[in-house]
Structure 1
Amino acid sequence: MTDHSHAEQPRWKHDGVRVIKGDRLDSNTAQTPGMFRQAAINHARVGAQKIWAGTVTIEPDAKTGVHHHGELESVIFVLRGKARMRWGERLEFTAEAEPGDFIFVPPFVPHQEINADPSAPLECVLVRSDNEAVVVNITDVDPVEKPEAVYWVDPIHKQPE
């Protein structure tokens, strides 16, 4: 039988399970035209060591440049709107996701995120496998669908040159 009465037990009240209310997300993250990101779970807010979670709202027709996230895994859950993902060596593969759908982006996969609706925002929950925002921009790929309406640009997603 395991003894759970170790010295740290009294700290569980403050260091145990956390509930982050949806109206109390932290918008003190990278913000740029075309995208609004809010952190719910990260190191600064709850002491998370291996995960980042939050929300992102992407303006109509916004697109990122081609990039990958290194060793990070990402999960995107679509709340409202229509997401289009392009991936591959030349972004030759595409898939769309609607409310209730999950998108998984494996490590090192070159991709482009797109709000597929030219008239409505795309609202998603984003979860990453680390607190560090790793983005490697890929400039030598001519994407099938070029970012042209509103660049989804922030300190992580740089504007294509």
Structure 2
Amino acid sequence: MGQDHHHRTDWKHDGVRVIPGDQLDPTTAGQTTGMNRATAINFARVGAQKIWAGTVHIHANAKTGAHHHGDLESVIYVVKGKARMRWGNNLEFTAEAGPGDFIFVPPYVPHQEINASSDETLECVLVRSGQEPVVVNLDIEPVEKPENVPWVDPIHKHPGHADPNSKR
């Protein structure tokens, strides 16, 4: 029965896809100074239904506010630099990750992302379990205030830009 499916599907065009690192799609909406982001895998580019993946370069000292991503799961792989995560109902837990480390953020976990370096760009690969950039901002006083440099990436919009998916 697997054979029949094999004959009906054009695996040459609907099979494995390699997306070269120099052919990622830079998100045109609101690129931020000192920050680059690019989509590698999404529905529009390769027909992905359940995952999104791309790269994020975050400048030194950048931080998000407290938020969660609804029912999305997120995986962050640190390529270069130092990331600090804070999480919990009062962001009371903390962990750091460096090059080669993976960070997993489960659904609904209140958290804050931080570039823990004052002079080095944080370069990451971000994978999430859906196409919709869900962000629910939380009214928690973060231990590390994100005033100086906001963290902006495909999911965390600039605080000055209204996001229809965001709830305050």
Q: Which residue matches 1:35?
A: 35
- 1:53: which partner in 2? 53
Bigger relative contact order, structure 1 or 2 (CA pairs below 8 A, ≥6 apart):
1
How many aligned positions are there? 158
Q: Note closer, same or farther for the CA distance 1:96–1:154 as it changes in structure 2 (3 Å cut).
A: closer
Q: Distance in 2 between matches of 1:154 and 1:22?
A: 18
Matches within 5 A, 1:41-80: 41-80=41-80
What residue in structure 1 maps to residue 143 of structure 2?
144
Superposition misfits of 4+ residues, deviation over 6 angstroms: none
Q: Identity of counterpart residues, as a percentage?
A: 71
> Residue 26 of structure 2 aligns to a residue in which SS?
coil
Match of 1:113 in 2: 113
Letter aligned with residue 5 of structure 1: D
TM-score by length of 1: 0.90
Q: State how far apart, in whole Å, the 2-side matches of 1:130 and 1:150 are.
A: 27
> Structure 2 counterpart of 1:145, which letter?
E
Q: 1:33 to 1:65 in 2, by over 3 A?
A: farther
Question: In structure 2, how many angstroms separate the alpha carbons of the residues matched to 1:75 and 1:119?
Answer: 24
Alpha-carbon separation, structure 1, partners of 2:52 and 2:96:
24
Shift of 1:12: 1.3
Output one character per residue of 1:13-69: Cα deviation in whole Å (capped at 9) or x when no partner. 111100000000000254334532110000000000000011000000100111100
Secondary structure of 1:63's aligned partner: coil
Superposed CA offset, 1:64-109 (max 9, x none): 1111000000000000000000111111111000001000000000
Structure 2 counterpart of 1:26, which letter? D
Contact 2:133 2:154 in 1 (8 A): no
Unaligned runs of 5+ in 1: none
Q: Is this contact kept in 2: 1:33–1:152, CA < 8 A? A: no
- How large is the Cα RMSD of the aligned pairs? 1.9
